[in-house]
Amino acid sequence: MRASLLTAEHETFRETLRTFIRKEILPHVDRWEQQGQIDREIWKKMGDMGFMALNYPEEYGGLDLDFYFSMILCEELSYCFSGGFTISALVIQYMSAPYLLKHASEELKQKYLRPVLSGDLISAVAITEPGAGSDVQHIKTTARREGDYYLVNGSKTFITNGYYGDFFITAVKTSPEKGHKGISLLLINRNSPGVTATKITKMGWLASDTAELGFNQVKVPVSHLIGEEDAGFKYLMGGLQLERLTAAIHSLATAESALDYTLDYMRQREAFGRKLQEFQALRHRVAQMVADITTTKAFIQHCCDLQQQGEYAVKECSIAKLQASELAVRVVSQCLQLFGGYGFTEDYKIARLYRDVRVGTIIGGTSEIMLEIIAKIAIDDIQYQPKTNT
């Protein structure tokens, strides 16, 4: 990051965060990975430090800081060697709670947003469905208005924080006949009658709880409608750029952490009487990874500048998500190769990173979707416009 944008205050925050991570997170990561569950207490501890509310207004318990603090948070949490923990944190602050801040009523903000920012409640966003995948327009979960309630029926899948979380920002069809113009967002409590959650066994991100949700005649108060009825699709489209940018920061920082971890190993490991770091073929492989990470990081920092300026940067965030996630897969794979047989064991954390990093090209829109968005802008001259709150 250019020196003119990162101040002494930013660097002090980074050091404070690192100290917190060393004390409160790293000692527990292996256990969280093994048990497939993160201790709820960590969210409260992070909330007490203000780490859950960096960019939120002070009136809801936030710190009202610039986006570079969030960039630092995403980077440092990604150095915990647990993609599952990191994504759980990012989902709360950057992928679910923003819908409350931007579109929810004051009542919902006080009842749900404030406790999320303090670490007392865990939020999730429930969009993806078994039959629709990333195709939001074709979700089938319905919400039929009956007096002061909506009756919700349907299912969601791959929902991070869906099993142990407290509530979901849920995409539903309130007017199915309108297609994507009939989607609304509802806040649904996890413990509401008719809500079921089944944990999904995953290849990676083991610390996070990922669930398939079921909704069977779930009564949701009309007051839990977020924003206007049938306006959910434009709300979702407006939130994707932040989701993809934070995912890009996470992917790149994971690649950086993998390379740093590998360099430490290469300094110690010997083969044929020489340190691994002395072999030219390996040195040049590392040099190329450094070059790729450095150039991608410069572009992501440019995207952070745009986010800080309030730009609706669809093209840039799509490129960042595409490049960072694909690069992270390549870098972690090459790093594992440098560990030799040890990389294939659980004795070294590179194996965990290898499992965790693979999903980066899938979440928040697959690489194929990112390419199609970029193609529409570059080839078809489509101009994506920001989505307003009305």
Separation between Cα atoms, residue 270 and residue 268, nearest integer Å: 7
Q: What are 265's two structure tokens? A: 């190993």
**What is the residue-wise DSSP string for 201-224?**
P-SS-TTS-EEEEEEEEEEEEGGG
């440092």: which residue's tokens? 76
Residue 116 pLDDT: 98
Separation between Cα atoms, residue 350 and residue 339, nearest integer Å: 8
Domain boundaries, the chain: 8-122, 125-230, 233-380
pTM for the full model? 0.94
CATH tag, 125-230: 2.40.110.10
Segments of the chain with pLDDT less than 70: 1-4, 133-134, 387-390
Nearest Cα residue to 49 out of 19, 79, 81, 75: 19
Are the beta carbons of 164 and 142 closer than 8 angstroms? Answer: no
Active site residues: 243
- What one-character DSSP code corresponds to residue 92? I
CATH architecture of the domain with range 8-122: Orthogonal Bundle (1.10)
Each residue of 355-376: pLDDT tens digit? 999 999 999 899 999 999 999 9
Residue 1 pLDDT: 46
Q: What are 227's two structure tokens? A: 């924003």
CATH architecture of the domain with range 233-380: Up-down Bundle (1.20)
At 145, phi and psi to the nearest 5? -75, 130
Residue 273 pLDDT: 86
Residue 303 pLDDT: 97
Nearest Cα residue to 105 out of 142, 162, 154, 60: 60
Residue 386 pLDDT: 74
Each residue of 313-367: pLDDT tens digit? 999 999 999 999 999 999 999 999 999 999 999 999 999 999 999 999 999 899 9
- Displacement of CA 386 from its chain's centroid (Å): 21
Residue 390 pLDDT: 38
Residue 278 pLDDT: 85
Identical fold, 8-122 and 233-380: no
